[in-house]
Chains A and B, each alone.
Chain A
Amino acid sequence: MGIETGMERTVRTIYMTYGAMVTPLGNTPEDNFQSMSLGNSGVQKQSASGFNGEDWPLGKIESLHSDNRYTELLRNTCNALKAKHGQQLFQSEKTLIIISSTKADIESLPEDTFTSTRKIIQEVLSPKNAPLIISNACISGVLAINTAADYIKAGKFDTVVSIGIDVLTDFIVFGFQSLFALSDQPSKPFDKNRTGISIGEAAGAIIVSSVPPDSDKFYVEYLGGSSSNDANHISGPSRTGEGLFRSINRTAKRANINLKDLNFISAHGTGTLYNDEMESIAFDRLGLNNIPLNSLKGYFGHTLGAAGIIEILSTMLMMENNILLKSPGYDEQGTSCKLNVVRENTKSDVQLALKTASGFGGGNASIIIKKKV
């Protein structure tokens, strides 16, 4: 398996570059990195956001003002993509757009909740090929990159633009509240005193391509990716981390790397007791205890279908800037297995990074990327 994909990889190198990044912390990848470096967090108490009027801490984009946050954010993101990369890229017959979203325009019910997505993409970017939509809970973003790589490896497209997006809605906030999964303080992934998730909203885009980027542009190379189911519970993480363990192993084989060579892990780290514990068990089983790791949920909140994309973008930014960003909210080990959680922004030359995600439906996904030589 590893050898086969290794051969494919030598046939078509896959490059990943910044597309767009709109979060509570900024409207471009660079602004986001600047803000994260300063230790800012987009997670703030939002008054009366809960079902019973609770003030939950949430990652809210304050600049969104229209009645429909989803269509406004998608339109803004597409406009940012068009302004930065030019419309020709999207109109080429060798370009595909992939959207990753869990609930898309859920507030448009009883209309179909994914119809406005196609409409806005068409209006703003007018692509030659109809966009492909992935909706696979919190691993959607990582799957959107893996699927992009599949299409490029097979030679079906030269460039795939993977966009991840989800917004704050009563639907989502009330739902996580009903599961007693929300934290009353900004979430503290992997910390001893963590009590739950902070939900957030964001959009991000990554350009995945077989076309080598201009020499002055930063890029990372996609080495491999995979998914795996826990086969355990639809909304509770596995107690053994089986799915995550298998996905990381499978990804390492496809990437043809030894896990010991990883320099950094961007974990999922939601801040719930069970999720973070599950991740620590999976990482421990793989001997990854000493590799620097963070969760970015303390900066943005858990942005669901956008999470995989904006967290890979953040990982790329860390690699470009040679800085590991601290994992917000982490003070004291709170998982049964030891992890090397990044406590302070640290200078580091990361060559190889692993990104993981886990979600409802028992899904786990991972990818390994390599820094531009």
Chain B
Amino acid sequence: MKILACSKISDQGIFLNGIQQSIEKTTNNWKKELYIKLGVEYPKFYKMDALAKMAFLGFELISNSTSIDHLADDELSLLFANKHSSYDTDQKYVNSYMEKGSPGPSLFVYTLPNILTGELSIRNKWYGENIFFIQEKFDPEFFIDQINFYFSKGSNACLCGWVDSAKGIEECFLFLVENKAGELSIEELNNYYKQ
């Protein structure tokens, strides 16, 4: 398997293929700043929760550095995981009926972590396979196993991600892998994640 590109968004900054991007976080609303700086026009972005926003931005970054237009619309599988599921949105939604008078439907629909794979699929018109795991930490070996499973089933590429938002910590690590000759080691993947 060959890694085509990766992006990382966290408190440590914004990275594309291991290189820090000169997009500064100047306000609390840094996701909006990055969205504007990337020059994307996709108003649905503003309705998304933090997980979906980060995954959206992470892939927009990746698509600035590599193209997967040669793939058919169902050859890409989305393999995602995080630790806290939809924790932040869960809390906000509970707050809507415990404190603010009534359960908020627009919050409720984001109380599932896999909504972000739906948002990516809608944005990019992808009809491939999707799966979302809950794990204690980012596990590169686990992802390599999963990628091999999906390649053996017929996928030609996988967009993988660790996207988490809870207790004040937000991070989004995405990597795009194609079913082509090349080695992707656990160590290499871990280094990209830790950047």
Contact = CB atoms under 8 A, between A and B. Distances in A.
Contacts of A361: 112, 114-118, 130
Interface string A158-176: 0000000000001100110
Contacts of B2: none
Contacts of A154: 145, 148-149, 152
Contacts of B78: 229
B113 interface: yes
Interface stretch (B6-14, B30-38, B121-129, B183-191): B121-129
Interface stretch (B60-68, B103-111, B169-177): B103-111
A226 B121 contact: no
Given A137-B112, A178-B105, A171 B93 contact: yes
A280 B126 CA distance: 22
A114 interface: yes
B90 A227 contact: no
Contacts of A112: 83-84, 87, 166
A348 interface: no
Contacts of B131: 134, 136, 143, 147, 227
Interface class of chain B by DSSP = mixed
B164 to A, nearest CB: 11
A41 B84 CA distance: 35
B59 interface: no
A24 interface: no
Interface in B127-176: 127-136, 145-146, 148-149, 152-154, 166
Contact of A179 (B108, B117, B146, B166): B108
B157 to A, nearest CB: 15
Contacts, number: 160
Most buried by A among B121, B130, B133: B130
Given A4-B152, A135-B114, A228-B129, A174 B122 contact: no
Interface residues of A, number: 54
A246 B74 contact: yes
Nearest to A113: B85
B21 interface: no
A4 B154 contact: yes
Contact of A114 (B111, B115, B134): B134
Nearest to A133: B134
A114 B90 CA distance: 13
B4 interface: no
A145 to B, nearest CB: 12
Contacts of A302: none
A324 B133 CA distance: 34
A8 B152 CA distance: 9
Contacts of A246: 74, 127
Contact of B118 (A4, A177, A229): A229
Given A154-B148, A246-B74, A175 B111 contact: yes
Interface of A: 1, 4-5, 8, 51, 102-104, 106, 109-110, 112-114, 130, 132-137, 143, 147, 150-151, 153-154, 156, 170-171, 174-175, 177-179, 226-235, 242-243, 246, 250, 254, 360-363
* 4 closest Cβ pairs, A-B complex: A361-B118, A1-B154, A175-B108, A229-B121
8 contacts: A5-B153, A137-B112, A153-B152, A171-B94, A178-B102, A229-B118, A230-B127, A235-B109
